[in-house]
Amino acid sequence: MQNVLLFVIGVLIIAVGLGVSIALHEVGHLVPAKKFGVKVTQYMIGFGPTIFSRRRGETQYGVKAFPLGGYISMVGMFPPAKEGGKLRRTSTGFFNSLVQDARKASTESVGDDDSRAFYKLPVWKRVVIMLGGPTMNLLLGILFFAIVLCGFGIAGASTTVGSVSACVQPASTTTTSTSTTCASTDPVSPGAAAGILPGDKIVSINGTAISTWDQSTDIIRQSAGVPLTFVVLRNGADVTLTVTPLLTERDVTEIVNNQSVVKTDASGAAVTEQVGFVGIGYATELQPQPITAVLPFVGENVAGVANTIFNLPQRLSGVAQAAFGGGTRSADSPMSVVGVGRVAGEIATIDIPLQSKVATLIGLLGSVNIGLFVINLVPLMPLDGGHIAGALWEGLRRRVAKLFGRRDPGPVDTARLMPLTFVVVVFLGGVSALLMYADIVNPVNIFG
């Protein structure tokens, strides 16, 4: 029962955080729109039937039934058709009506006074308004990751002993088997023989102060057969132990894709080396990072989301295979809000320190906001990036016309893109449905 309650709490935390992120995204549009004099008639969180709303001035603020996004309604999103302008003859009746309906709705929202219409603004002001939402998500992502990195830290090796091997097993055994059972012929590990215990904090080795685990490892590996004087902090008091590293054959490891793996030769056999071995492993702890680590970390997340988008067909193919064919989903598989909520619930239930749970949930919100930032910059309507692209294209056309002394071509008729917008909306709806289904029947397992 306790795990169920913790799971629900985790889901609620991420749901509230996501709702706040969406609300602030729309504030990022709302504030500059009002600052530039655009008439904003609605500020809504969610879609579908309105649950609650209140009018302040000319704007109706409210919450709708399905909190899967939000929007603000600005008058004059599309310019009116040019006098005598016609749709392309290749337009079908359905798509023709989409364009006409978009123009009609925009014209009706403007009324008789078009001085406060969105399309009347200079290009740079329209870009600022449409960039406001994604920028807000970027700032939230930076804030959340700053809290995680600088306030909590990231898990890393400490100088505290986390485990002590009971015996020394051959390298071939540790490579090919996950067994930790000692055979009668396996020698007792030097660490266990010397009396090192999990929780001991290594203070010094042979008089050399130890500040990192790698420092102690280097000394041990180079000191096979040489008695070493360990000073460890145990229960608030220094304890001196004598440890003699054993010369053993250990696997050589290397870093591949940010993961430590056993190095192999041309035949596929593990590469080994003769080094000193004590048989102790480090305990991980959260290590606060400098503020300078935040932006590079955010940059890596932005690059990761962008890579997912660039490889979306391949990623979605893998999700479909996992959803309908029973395959295993990768840990970096794209997820829907259902999957994010499920991960949040699992974080709340796993057996880790409370501060680690809080840090992980905040980091999850940071990742969600970076995802919203990147996705909304995709230059396709109805995403913010589509409106930005339309404004920039208009600015380019006008600049070129002015450069060559031509007549001002006027605003770009973005209403003509409604057929493409319809296709994008259907595609995004299909992707969301696929991800939600996969997150239910075959969720991502990020905890192993």
Which residue, 316, 297, 315, is CA-closest to 366? 297
Catalytic residues: 26
Can you name the residues that pair with 135 across neighbouring β-strands?
A: none
Q: What's the one-letter identity of residue 20?
A: V
- Cis bond before residue 409 (omega within 30° of 0): no
Tell me if 344 sits within 8 A of 361, measured CB to CB.
Answer: yes
Give the side-chain half-sphere CA count within 13 A for 427: 13
How far apart CA 111 and CA 121 sit, in angstroms, is 17
Query: Is the backbone of residue 81 left (phi > 0), alpha (psi -120 to 50) or beta?
Result: beta
Query: DSSP of 130-199, one letter per residue?
Result: HHHHHHHHHHHHHHHHHIIIIII-EEEEEEEEEEE-SB---HHHHHH----PPPTTSPBPHHHHHT--TT
Beta-bridge partner residues of 256? 259
Q: Are 168 and 277 in contact (CB under 8 A)?
A: yes
